[in-house]
Amino acid sequence: MSGVTVGVLTETAADERRVALDPSAVVRLVAAGRTVLVQSGAGKEASFADADYEASGATISTRRAVLTTSNVIAVVRALDEALIDDFHTNQLVIGLLEPLTHLASMQKLADRGITAVAFELLPRTLSRAQSMDALSSQSSAAGYRAAIVAAATFGRYLPMMITASGTATPAKVIVIGAGVAGLQAIATAKRLGAVVTGYDVRESSRGEVESLGATFLTPLVTTGSGAGGYARAMSVEEQRVQRAELAAALRSFDIIITTAKVPGKTPPMLVSKETLATLRSGSVCIDLGSSDRGGNIAGSVEGHTTTTSNGVTIVGAGELASDLPASASQMYGRNVVAAIASLIPQDRVTIDPSDDVHRGIVVCHDGELTNAVVRSAVGLRSLEASVVGLEVAAS
């Protein structure tokens, strides 16, 4: 058996259909000399059978055996307490761990000598980090799916339709936020024949929106990009102006897709209760920023569809990539493989404190919280680089 065994578990979060590694990712890991254990049925919801994994070189096993034997555990969603309790010292866990939302869990992992790697903390502006950018890969899936869900929920045609019974006018769609998810939603809505508008407070987004054939709604408030490529935080007055501007514009649209999801923070409110009241009956709002902390749209509930008293449908869709489980899992698996190759170049977990990628995505290692953002969130000072420059043999 290889010195490094990568384990894949069935995801337990409600309505989660993705899996951390698809069979094609297993092929890449096995070719690199890794052993892969997959919990029986882990890929079922994403249409990957156990036989597909075995044909790719993985071994199908029980959940307990995967947890006991693996040096590396790959997951999609944040860890629950029961799973953390099942980990053992010197394991490495990698996934979308939501570290800034689950600070106590990160501390518990550190205390138990587990290395945690969170894709949310990846420095996304580094070109060499793109192969590990799980936020982008999953946002792309979510943006595509948002337009499909909007079309399925909307009670009329999206494209202009000329029929023997007359002509149906095309639906008007606005996508708020021109990041990865927003641009994919714009492109998909255009393909479906809608008249599409993009809105973003970053003026630099204009070219990207217009290149997809959409109209760019020029904001009264413009900002530069902040950390990680996100728009910088706006002042209270800027937020007031933006809300008023959007409220005036949104009433003319049939479908609204919002995409402002900020890891570890409350998402900004973009569509207020008062604005919803001005929308036409039958309008559809898809909230990709929805979470247990709230959403971009007043009244949105993560994972649920609700309807306002005036007939506006609101879809809480913060984890919409899960609705495209096969494609989302394939992209995510590539991100996991790239991260493992960087962190475990041979048979040892090697954290390089001089590497910006390692310094970003590693939350804890060798009994310490190491990520500067996480340490700041719990009131600790940053560690000196020399403290985390260690190697841990794969056990």
- Active site (catalytic) residues: 124, 130, 133, 136, 230
Instruction: Using DSSP, state whether 244 is helix, strand or coil.
Output: helix
- Element holding 167 (H helix, E strand): strand 166-168
Instruction: Using DSSP, state whether 227 is helix, strand or coil.
Output: helix
Question: By 3-state DSSP, what share of the chain in percent is helix, strand and coil, each rounded to 5?
Answer: 40, 20, 45
Per DSSP, what are the bridge partners of residue 172?
Answer: 195
CA distance 17 to 15: 6
Placement of tokens 């900004």 in the chain: 268
β-pairing, 115-118 with 92-95? parallel
Q: Is 2 in contact with 32 (CB distance < 8 Å)?
A: no
Instruction: Using DSSP, state whether 214 is helix, strand or coil.
Output: coil
How far out from the chain centre does Cα 341 lie? 21
Type of residue found at 23:
P
β-pairing, 72-74 with 92-95? parallel
